[in-house]
Structure 1
Amino acid sequence: MKEIPLTVRRSIEITGLFFLGWIVVLGKGLLAPLLMAFFISIMLLPLYRFFRNRKFPEALAIGVSLLALIVALGLIVWFFSSQISILIRDFPAIQKNVMRHLTALSSWLGSKTPWSSQEQLKFINEQSNNLLTYAGSLLGGLAGGVTGTLIFLGLLPIYIFLLLFYRNLLLRFVFLWFPRDSHEGVEDTLREMQVIIKSYLFGLLIQITYMTVLLGGILMIIGIKHALLIGIIFAFLNLIPYVGALLGNIIGVLLTLASSEELWPVVAVLGTIAAVQFLDNNILMPRIVGSKVKINALATIVGVIVGGEIAGIAGMFLSLPIIAVLKVVFDRSEQFKQWGVLFGDERPSRSPMEIPVLRWDTKAIRKKLERENEIEPTTKKEKDNLS
């Protein structure tokens, strides 16, 4: 049989990726809750196995695991809503502080620019009217968004239950796609994917906890109002790579400005967030999640933006674990290894233009790059623990 030319194969790959992206965009309403349920079901597997080992019926073990998840999410929602209610009770003081800051800003602008107080007031009124018009159209769009969110939340537990219940059937379906001689490689890929997803998602849960406690606790000691609210908002937004931390800083500053008559708390909040984030990025998170798969910053940012465009906030949260899973699959596939290199952070210290050996696709070179970039291989023990 005549072999397909390399250029034709690459053209087919690009065309396939285009149509795959098109299908994802068209089916995002189905795929977003299904992918979220897939990742959550992998997280629930240890709890499910715990109940199965104690002779629970399969459906009951899945149901109890789901109930534990719902209780945990309910506690998070209750904690967040209690902090919001405290913020609402302080609304009169917040309104007074905002007016004081606006008056100070107006005086400063009046001294530095030719704009008078009347011109500034006219500008603010015009922008307020524009903002109200925009808010009206936004609320109209949110009506459809709320319906979509309710459908998403309603489908999620159903999908989780069915994915856990039919997991063996789904695994058999995956193996039947491949010839027998490649089943060992498929099994290794599936186990490695499970290790990556579990270490990443459990690491994120731990990160949310210690970021809320650490950031909120330090801000409370300093004397910042709504410290816990700032902590939990930043902890959740920090899950969105790069973009989330920026949004968390902005919201933290706005909440502090609205709750304080002075400016020093803003500096304290920014300094505390910077210190906690440095600790998180360089010491805590690498030890918790590990470095078995490193995604480069370019792929991360593009993935977050593309995920946000396709599925909104859910897509931004899901983008990084999806890229990590795709990298594991691509690294194990002879046809798509170049895509695994594109997503990864195994950066050569020298240019392949100068060192021809770096252009080759060999295990020795890949392992050398992984050692240089401090990427840990998945151990046999970790794979066996998932059996």
Structure 2
Amino acid sequence: MSQIFKANTGTSDNESHKGLANRDVYPFYIKAPLIIIGLYLFVLILSLLQDVAIPFAFAGLLAILLNPVYTFLERKNINKILAITLTILLAILVVVAIMLFLSSQIAQFGQMLPQMEQKFLTMLHDFQSWLTSQFGLSSQKQISMAKDALNGSKAFVGKTLNTLVGMLTFMVLIPLYVFLLLFYKPLILNFVFEVFEEDNSGQVAEILQETKGAVQSYIVGLMIETSIIAVLNSAALLILGVQYAVLLGVIGAILNLIPYIGGIIAIGLPVLMSLITGDNLTTPLLIVGAYTLIQFADNNIIVPRVVSSKVSVNALISILVVLLGGNLWGVSGMFLSIPFVAVLKIIFDRIDGLKPWGKLLGDKMPQHSPSKVVSKEEVD
């Protein structure tokens, strides 16, 4: 009977199976809202749990970064707990040394604050007078515009300050998270492998290995890049005779960790310092020129050769995720956004249905792009 029915309807076994398979695929107008709702709930959860998620995310990056040190100590037959403790103490000593260096520079900077405040007020008064004479803006109008600008940026500044305060509050939790992540690393890896089928164990191992390598190379590369930029910034400012050149150079290098946006802020700080402490515009213009050359060398020479990340994210996606990360988690979100997208790209590149998204995130241009665009005449 089944053969007669298939003969009468003109269908075959393959066609019937295809029809059943197509019935299981939801149409686009159903899948799209579900995806949007899922993304919205995911972002909402990240926003609501940022006080817990931010320190845990930083701890995850640090645990991956410190894992080679811990593995080296463990291979020396050092007790597991002692090896983790020594690894964390080494990282804390490095952070404390950097903080002591910056504190000594900031202490010297504080001695000039009264003089700089007086010079800044004088410059502000001159600028207000120039606006009044050139554009006819009264002092009240200028104050109103300044308040509007401050109110517009209050949300982002407030979120950034809350993030920084939260990071200081949970500073004790980060070493604890790192300790527990390293201690329970076998348990976590075993869970990841058991979640997926045994046939996919090779693919899972490849993804984990590439993720670890990409994050480690990214963070180590950033540390080396930051040191080089700090030296170049400080040398340029010392040559130009800018006060507190070392402090401003190091701060500029740290701000450079925030892709694209941090570099702009890094230029503004020494320019403002030279305007406050100097009496001419030549030095600020030279600072802009020197920092522009350093940024050019950073983007075209230092980053490609030093950072050497295994996953490259194109500039468009980088800017978008940095801005989105800033809106979500402030400065911490800006820093965490690039490693997060790099991990996503590794996963996308290993799953057939998500490979187009992985290509979209990357910076490798296709060799053969579509040369035709469907037009109305072609449809007709």
TM-score band by shorter chain is 0.7 to 0.9
Which sits farther off after the overlay, 346-355 or 211-220?
A: 346-355
Q: Which amino acid aligns with 1:78?
A: L
Does residue 316 (structure 1) correspond to residue 334 (structure 2)? The answer is: yes
Using the TM superposition, name which of 186-195 and 245-254 deviates more: 245-254
1:291-310 deviation digits (Å, cap 9, x = unpaired): 53221222111211221122
2:174 — aligned with what? 156
Please identify runs of 4+ aligned residues in structure 1 that moved more than 4 A. Answer: 12-15, 106-111, 122-147
From 180, 198, 210, the equivalent of 2:198 is 180
Structure 2 residue 63 is matched with structure 1 residue 41: yes
Aligned residues: 352
Answer with 1 or 2: which has the greater Rg. Answer: 2
For the 8 Å contact 1:305–1:316, the answer to whether it is kept is: yes
- Which of 167, 186, 190 aligns to 2:185? It is 167
User: Is the counterpart of residue 276 in structure 1 residue 298 in structure 2?
Assistant: no
- In structure 2, C-alpha distance between the alignment counterparts of 1:240 and 1:63, rounded to whole Å: 30
String of CA shifts for 1:292-332, please: whole Å, max 9, x gaps. Answer: 32212221112112211221111110000000000001110
Q: In the alignment, does 2:40 pair up with 1:18?
A: yes
Structure 1 counterpart of 2:230, from 212, 219, 234: 212
CA-to-aligned-CA distance 1:92-147 (integer Å, 9 cap, x gap): 331343244345545654654456xxx54x66677889999999999999996675
Instruction: Summarize the Cα distance change of 1:110–1:255 in structure 2 as closer, same or farther, 3 Å threshold.
Output: same
Determine if the alignment matches structure 1 residue 348 to structure 2 residue 348. no
State the distance in 1 between where 2:244 and 2:251 align.
Answer: 11
Q: TM-score, normalised by structure 1?
A: 0.81
2:150 and 2:298 map into 1 onto residues whose CA distance is 39
Instruction: Provide the aligned C-alpha RMSD in A.
Output: 3.3
Give the gaps of 5 or more residues in structure 2. 1-16, 375-380
Change (3 A) 1:277 1:60: same
Q: 2:262 is matched with which residue?
A: 244
Q: Which runs of 5+ in 1 are unaligned?
A: 357-387
CA distance in 1, matches of 2:320, 2:158: 30
Matched residues in 1 for 2:150 and 2:209: separation?
52
Percent identical residues: 35
Q: Once the two structures are superposed, what CA deviation does each residue of 1:186-208 show, in whole Å capped at 9, x if it has no partner?
A: 11111111111011100111111
Report the residue type matching 1:314 in the other structure: S
Q: Aligned letter for 1:233?
A: I
SS in structure 1 opposite 2:172? helix
Q: Match for residue 53 of structure 1? A: 75
Tell me, in whole angstroms, the C-alpha distance in 1 between the residues paired with 2:130 and 2:345: 53
In structure 2, the residue matched to 1:90 is: 112
Equivalent residue letter for 1:274? T
TM-score (normalised: structure 2): 0.82
Q: Give, as a single letter, the amino acid of the residue that structure 2 aligns with 1:31.
A: A
Q: Does 1:74 align with 2:92?
A: no
For 1:144 and 1:293, locate their aligned partners in 2 and report how far apart those are by CA, in whole Å.
31
**Contact 2:312–2:362 (Cα < 8 Å) also in 1:** yes
Write the deviation string for residues 325-373 of structure 1: whole angstroms up to 9, x where unpaired: 00001110123222212212222355325399xxxxxxxxxxxxxxxxx
Say if 1:18 and 1:355 are closer, same or farther in 2 by CA, change over 3 A. same
Cα pair 2:84 2:183 within 8 Å, conserved: yes
> Partner letter of residue 94 of structure 2?
A
Give the structure 1 partner of residue 209 of structure 2.
Answer: 191
Query: Which letter maps to 1:348?
Result: P
State the 1:6 CA deviation. Answer: 6.1
Which deviates more from structure 2 when the two are superposed, residues 84-93 or residues 169-178?
84-93
